[in-house]
Amino acid sequence: MFQRLQTLRRMLKFRSNVTGSPEGNALWRVQGSALPGFGAEPQLRGRERLSYFLEHKEKNVWHGKFSIFPEDIVTHAISGRLGGVSKKPYYSLNLAFHVGDDAEAVRDNRQIFAHSLLLNAKDIVSPKQVHGTTVMRVGAEHRGLGAKDYESAIDDVDALITNEANVPLLLCFADCAPILIVDPKNRAVGAAHAGWKGTAGKIAEKTILAMKEAFGTNAEDCLAGIGPSISKEAYEIGEDVAKVFRENFSDSDKFLSAEDGKYHLDLWEANREILLAAGVRAKNIDVAKACTYGENSWYFSYRAEKGVTGRIGALIALKNI
Query: What secondary structure does DSSP assign to 4-55, as a single string?
Result: HHHHHHHHHHHHTT---STTS--EEEETTEEPTTT-SSPPEETTEE--EEEE
Residue 42 domain flag: no
Residue 33 domain flag: no
Q: Which domain holds residue 213?
A: 2-20+51-316
Q: 267-278 and 203-215 are packed helices; what angle lies between their axes, rounded to 10 degrees?
A: 30
Sign of CA dihedral 142, 190, 100, 103: negative
Q: Order the strands of the 256-259 sheet from edge to edge.
A: 236-237, 262-265, 256-259
Nearest to 83 by CA among 299, 307, 305: 299
The count of domains in the chain is 1
Q: What is the pLDDT of residues 117-135, one digit of tens each?
A: 999 999 999 999 999 999 9
Residue 44 domain flag: no
The Cα–Cα gap between 200 and 193 comes to: 12
Residue 282 domain flag: yes
Mean pLDDT of the chain: 88
Q: Is residue 146 predicted with pLDDT exceeding 70?
A: yes
CATH of the domain at 212: 3.60.140.10
Q: How many residues belong to the chain? A: 321
Q: What is the pLDDT of residues 222-245, one digit of tens each?
A: 999 999 999 999 999 999 999 999
Report yes or no: 162 and 139 within 8 Å, Cβ to Cβ: yes
Residue 310 domain flag: yes
Which helix H or strand E contains 140, and what residues bound it? Answer: none
Buried b (16+ CB within 10 A) or exposed e, 192-208: bbbbbbbbbbbbbbbbb
Percent of the residues in the chain that have a pLDDT greater than 70, as a whole number: 84
Q: Is residue 282 predicted with pLDDT exceeding 90?
A: yes
Residue 119 domain flag: yes
Residue 50: predicted pLDDT: 52
Residue 310: predicted pLDDT: 98
Enumerate residues 6+ apart whose C-beta is below 8 A from 42: 27, 49, 50, 51, 53, 67
Residue 83 domain flag: yes
Residue 41 domain flag: no
Q: Is residue 163 predicted with pLDDT exceeding 70?
A: yes
